[in-house]
Structure 1
Amino acid sequence: MVQANMMHVAVHVPSLASVSSIKPRSRTQKIKPGVVCAVFDQTVGGQLLIDKEKSKSRRRVFFLDVNPLCYEGSTPSLQSFGHWVSLFFREVSHTDPVIAVLDGEGGCEHRRRLLPSYKAHRRKFIGLLNGSQRFSRGHVGRSRQFIMDVLGKCHVPVVKIEGHEADDVVATLVDQVLQRDYRVVIASPDKDFKQLISEDVQLVMPLKDLERWSFYTLKHYIAQYNCDPHSDLSLRCIMGDEVDGVPGIQHVVPGFGRKTALKLLKKHGSLENLLNAAAVRTVGRPYAQEALTKYADYLRRNYEVLALRRDIGVHLEEEWLVERNTSNDSIILSDFFGSMQETQKVTRQNRYHFSSG
């Protein structure tokens, strides 16, 4: 594995070798009511979700969003990482190129300078961990290196850019991949990636209840939200995002609700178009008009916080687009789970000796 460091960009690139293409196995999966997803290249309701002819002519590149896979709920878990990655290699990506992306140190700071409440709950959680677990920082560092080593041995390049979140790195690289006429699949449970969905960009999400990865396409997005991804991002900027600590306009104008926001965005298309229109003419009822003019900077700040950046200083390497060599997968993942079992055994023994002493 070769490690390159430049401009505060840490990229771990394994030696990639071309291998014969393996066709995905056809499987029939049941989908729970209310879950809008496609399980692999299957059909739902009798309609084909993926254009088979198009998929044959244009290869896919997968982006693996590593950080959220390393948690079981809010608890850090290498076991969770191993579980989802092994399923991902076995059932989803096969020999397609995979690029893994990690959050860089201080990745949230830019957005926190704009909005101090951004992902504030995550800081509190980390603070509790550091206060309750000795040497937690060193443990996190060793775990991250362990994860990078596993991915590297499975011939997956790992990209980590200091000062930037993985979401923005992925968004930047997605544009570069599309320019090379590939299709993109982003493997992540993060809803922020939905703003990137298009005919050429899909998501594949880990669904815990179903214990499998499931594809999510532009058709599913439109069926679920009844709007295009850009309009939905504008809606989130108006209504806020409680999970990420982004307050909506209802915090300052209680009467401005989702129904009003949807109506205005349907007419104007985007937040910026709406704000520009409100600056020169009446676009709605007096309370909405006043809110859009008085709190325009508030809403634009929300947009800057929630919109993914596509200008990060990272460049796609041609060797990342080579078919992935899967020859190491079985033994590397087997060793990984064996190591996890041994670690758990030692931990239980230490706890027993500590409690007995």
Structure 2
Amino acid sequence: MSKWMLIDGNSITYRAFFAMPPLTNSSGMQTNAIYGFTTMLLKLIEEHKPSHILVAFDAGKVNFRHEQFEDYKGGRQKTPPELSQQFPILKQLITAFGIQQYELSGYEADDIIGTLTKLADQQGVEAMVVSGDKDMLQLASEHVTIALTRKGVSEIELYSPETITEKYGLTPLQIIDLKGLMGDTSDNIPGVPGVGEKTALKLLHQFPSVEEVLANLDAQKGKLKENLTNNQESAIMSKKLATIFREVPLEYNEEQMQFNGYDHSQLAEQLQKLEFKSLIERLQLSTESGSSVEEARSAIESLSIHVIANDNDANVVNDLMQAIQQSAEHGLYIEAIGDNPHQASFEGLSISFQDDVYIIAKDQLTEPFLQPFCDWLSNEDKPKYGYDLHKSELVLSWIGVKLGGAKFDVQLAAYLLDPTDGNQLLYTIAERHNVYGLVSDDEVYGKGAKLKLPEDEKLFQHLALKARTVEKLVPLLNEELEQMSMLSLYYDLEGPLSRILAKMELQGIKVASSELENQGVELEAALKLITASIYELAGMEFKISSPKQLGEVLFEKLALPAKKKTKTGYSTDAEVLEELAPYHPIITHILNFRQLSKLQSTYVEGLLKEVNPTTGKIHTYYRQTIAATGRLSSQFPNLQNIPIRLEEGRKIRKAFVPSEAGWTILAADYSQIELRVLAHISGDEKLKEAFIHNMDIHTKTAMDVFGVTAEEVDSNMRRSAKAVNFGIVYGISDFGLSQNLGITRKEAAQFIEQYFNIFSGVRKYMDDIVAEAKSNGYILTLLDRRRYVPDIHSSNFNLRSFAERIAMNTPIQGTAADIIKLAMVRMEQTLKDRQLESRMLLQVHDELVFEVPPHELELMKKLVPEVMSEAIQLDVPLRADVSFGNSWYEAK
């Protein structure tokens, strides 16, 4: 039995665009409307299983209704370009779905659908109309159901004639009369002034049509009667405009609308271009074969998998070594379960040479008969091509196996190609580059509490596909790096840095656990005193860490002015408490309580848990592929977030000490590196002058902005200048600056304007870099690190403004990140060349931390800042300040 589905293409696409959050692919094109439309389409097909589908679109902006009323749809805003550009691609995708689409000059999608529903009524065929437009309700009949979208496009509500009567007290055709009376602002249908839906329904419950309402004007009173009397022509015309024309001369028949399923090959290709990975997986598609993932998995059959599971496989080892000698090209994959590489469990190694893949089971790698392979694995002169070689090096080191000669890492390369994509899993990297055959780890292992390794055969097949996938990706990603002028960024900076980071992480930093324990005791005592003070001021005991109980005490018992409420009660976040500080002394104690509690739990108890019981050190893990700016991220634990503004926080650093008796901790910190980078890339002469003459930049800024001498700059002036200096780097707004300085937005705006009048080169840079981002879709650092800013063209003011701030800030912050990375690479090479014993231990933002033997201290005090200041040549000098002591605390 036939079952038609008729979709209002324009209506659904518009609704999807405004309902879905911004979504872009790697080329910067917005795809949210396409994604919303597609997910709704799939849901409809799955739930209603239509035999025939047609998507109708409007053809052009002008149709026969404009002859009746020139301003028809005249009030509509211009279609955002981010939406306009999605229509052609959506239509291609609809075709790939095997679904017919139709548009006809002079008519709207409503008219095409109206004509087809009339045909359905005549033939007794079941039909469903899908739209976001209530006008479509006039088409409901015994055979036609109307599906109206709700909550954007995530849900639909079905209307039959009975449903319409139940909800409105009208027949479907009376929907036209309803629109005639109340009008429709979205289509600029005027209706009758002063008549909304409620009044229109009341009128139609009295008289069944616009014509009868107008024929019985005496039944109305006052302003309503006056409006109806004066706007009779408008009501009649509005009814005509709202009437769907059902006699469109269609060159279409039922057979052409038949839905025979998807064109797998075309659909997979289109979805891949759009980077709709979840839909590819949901539909089990593969671009490579044009079939399901299960069929793509048959790629495993083309591989010859050689498993080394015990010493009886020594002959396979010989074959492996022969393959290594015959071909330097390969794909290496080390499987480790667990995010923390210092604790992850090694589960096997795979290495592919085209169709020959060798698997080494997890408990075999350290066996003597595999020593020839381990020798190759550790050889720095033998290049390795793999995935996440940084983590791999750490995981192998903890089981006593060295990994050397890392040449190309597909994860690191994929990150450089698009640092805004937070998902650098091998499976998704492969999908993005049309390399298919691999399935996700979640599908093989499960995830969360359900994570479990499969039986050996399935595990080995998965590892084999991973190695082969890596091998396929290496040349593709290398070529992309070359096309984007990023080879130097990879081979001279990020690649070497990954090896340096692994060395630092394995080295670790010594922690005096007793010092942390003593600080824990001190914090506990301080917290008891603060708690007692809070209870005394509150006049009762309560759970201070409970926002609900705290809110009740502050806003009900103490009757402090409530600033904002959440669904669960009064808000007691930091912003609220800081605003309340002048009202009651309890607030200061609560803020201190929170700070000390966090120090106790996160940095004392937390760090103690991270001390390796064997080494007595903390081994952090630096991630290169997280931050879009290029900054490193520290994990397990995060040593970059130890608070230093609060003295109790700074004291945490006392626990970080040299690992050798008599050695010293030395720290070197770049001075105002981001402002120096800004001076260079903006070319602003006043900013450059300050750094060239080694002036205090904040004092200099205060002098220029306030028009005073250096001697006249007071602490408040310098503080304001410092806030605006660093604020400019991050694209601060007048609102942000007003919050920082506690001044009005007007004063903040005047301050920023004065700053830009003086530092006109900075203003020009800000304008130019935003224009460049709009033109290219991305911005670059001095070392050609690239960051995409797809929201730079967004019609949403907040998203666009945020993208503009990213465009202003990334070249500054990204270049600063590049500079300290360069310094690390050159510092490590200097230590090696000079055969020094000193070790680089940590990188914390713009600071490098070393441990230094006594006989090298004087040399390192000069050498480190020298290398750091010469990492890159700018138009202004770089400066690094050095300090040292018996702990990290003393070195700062």
In structure 2, distance between residues paired with 1:314 and 1:173:
9
Contact preservation (8 Å) 2:115, 2:245: yes
Alignment of 1:186-335 (within 5 A): 186-208=129-151, 211-250=154-193, 254=194, 261-275=200-214, 277-278=215-216, 282-285=218-221, 288-320=224-256, 322=258, 324-328=259-263, 332-335=266-269
Deviation at 1:77, TM superposition (A): 2.4
Alpha-carbon separation, structure 2, partners of 1:249 and 1:342: 46
What per-residue deviation string (whole Å, max 9, x for no partner) do you get for residues 152-200 of structure 1?
3333221111122111111112112221221211011221111111222
Q: Tell me: CA distance 1:286–1:201, structure 2 relative to 1, closer, same or farther (3 Å).
A: same
Aligned residue identity for 2:246: R
Counterpart position of 1:24: none
Bigger RCO (CA 8 Å, 6+ sep): 1
For 1:339, give the aligned amino acid: K
Partner of 1:125: 78
Instruction: Name the % identity.
Output: 21
Determine which structure has more spread, i.e. the larger CA radius of gyration: 2
Give 1:103 shift. 0.9
Q: 1:304 to 1:282 in 2, by over 3 A?
A: same
- Give the counterpart letter for 2:73 in structure 1: K
Task: Tell me, in whole angstroms, the C-alpha distance in 1 between the residues paired with 2:250 and 2:105.
Answer: 11
Find the aligned partners of 2:226 and 2:39 in 1 and give their Cα distance: 51
Cα distance 1:167–1:198, how it changes in 2: closer, same or farther (>3 A)? same
CA contact (8 A) 2:65 2:72 kept: yes
Amino acid at match of 1:337: L
Summarize the Cα distance change of 1:289–1:217 in structure 2 as closer, same or farther, 3 Å threshold: same
- Structure 1 residue 340 corresponds to structure 2 residue 279: no
Q: Check 1:60–1:273 CA distance in 2 against 1; reply closer, same or farther (3 A cut).
A: farther
* Residues 346 and 96 of structure 1: CA distance in aligned 2, closer, same or farther (over 3 Å): farther
Structure 1 residues 314 and 265: CA distance shift in structure 2, 3 A: same
Q: In structure 1, which of residues 345, 353, 356 is the aligned counterpart of residue 779 of structure 2?
A: 353
Q: In 2, are the aligned partners of 1:65 and 1:166 still within 8 Å (CA)?
A: yes
1:339/1:273 Cα in 2 relative to 1: closer, same or farther (>3 Å)?
Answer: same
1:14-25 matched pairs, under 5 angstroms: none
Q: Equivalents in 2 of 1:303, 1:154: separation in Å?
A: 37
In 1, the alpha carbon distance for the partners of 2:59 and 2:34 equals 19
Q: In the alignment, is the contact (CA less than 8 A) between 1:238 and 1:249 conserved in 2?
A: yes
Q: CA deviation at 1:342?
A: 8.2
Where 2:186 maps in the other structure, the secondary structure is: coil
CA distance in structure 1 between the partners assigned to 2:419 and 2:168 by the alignment: 46
Q: Is residue 96 from structure 1 mapped to residue 51 from structure 2 by the alignment?
A: yes
Taking structure 1 as reference, are residues 346 and 302 closer, same or farther at Cα in structure 2, changes over 3 Å only? Answer: farther
Residue 38 of structure 1 corresponds to none
How far 1:236 sits from its partner (Å)? 2.2
Query: Contact 2:73–2:186 at 8 Å: present in 1 too?
Result: yes
**C-alpha contact 1:202 1:217 (8 A) present in aligned 2:** yes
> Using the alignment, how far apart are the partners of 1:325 and 1:346 within structure 2?
38
Task: Quote the offset at 1:299 in angstroms.
Answer: 0.7
The aligned counterpart of 2:6 is 63
Contact 2:18 2:152 in 1 (8 A): no
Distance in 1 (CA, whole Å) between partners of 2:98 and 2:34 is: 19
List gaps (5 residues or longer) in structure 1.
Answer: 1-57
**Relative to structure 1, is the Cα distance of residues 347 and 64 closer, same or farther in structure 2, using a 3 angstrom cutoff?**
farther
Shift of 1:86: 2.3
Amino acid of the residue matched to residue 119 of structure 1?
K
Counting only pairs closer than 5 Å after superposition, residues 120-199 of structure 1 correspond to structure 2 as 120-122=74-76, 124-126=77-79, 129=80, 140=85, 143-199=86-142
Residue type of the alignment partner of 1:72: F
Task: State the Cα distance separating 1:315 from its structure 2 match.
Answer: 4.2
Q: Deviations over 1:321-347 (max 9, x none)?
A: 54x21153x65544433211289x889
Structure 2 CA distance for partners of 1:325 and 1:234, relative to 1, 3 Å:
same
Aligned AA (1:325): N
Is residue 79 from structure 1 mapped to residue 13 from structure 2 by the alignment? no
Secondary structure in 2 aligned to 1:73?
Answer: helix
Q: Give the conservation status (yes or no) of the 8 Å contact 1:249–1:299.
A: yes
| 2:129 partner SS | strand
Contact 1:237 1:302 in 2 (8 A): yes
Residues 158/340 of structure 1: CA separation in 2 closer, same or farther (3 Å cut): same
Query: What is the identity, as a one-letter code, of the residue corresponding to 1:125?
Result: K
- Name the one with the larger helix percent: 2
In 2, are the aligned partners of 1:98 and 1:156 still within 8 Å (CA)? yes
Structure 2: distance between partners of 1:346 and 1:166: 39
Identify if the C-alpha distance between structure 1 residues 121 and 87 changes in structure 2 by more than 3 Å, giving closer, same or farther: farther
Using the TM superposition, name which of 265-274 and 158-167 deviates more.
265-274
Say whether the 8 Å CA contact 2:52–2:257 is kept in structure 1.
Answer: yes
Distance 1:303 1:112 in 2: 14
d(CA) in 1 for partners of 2:200, 2:44: 38
How many residues end up aligned between the 2 structures? 277
User: CA 1:293 to 1:347, structure 2 compared with 1: closer, same or farther past 3 Å?
Assistant: farther
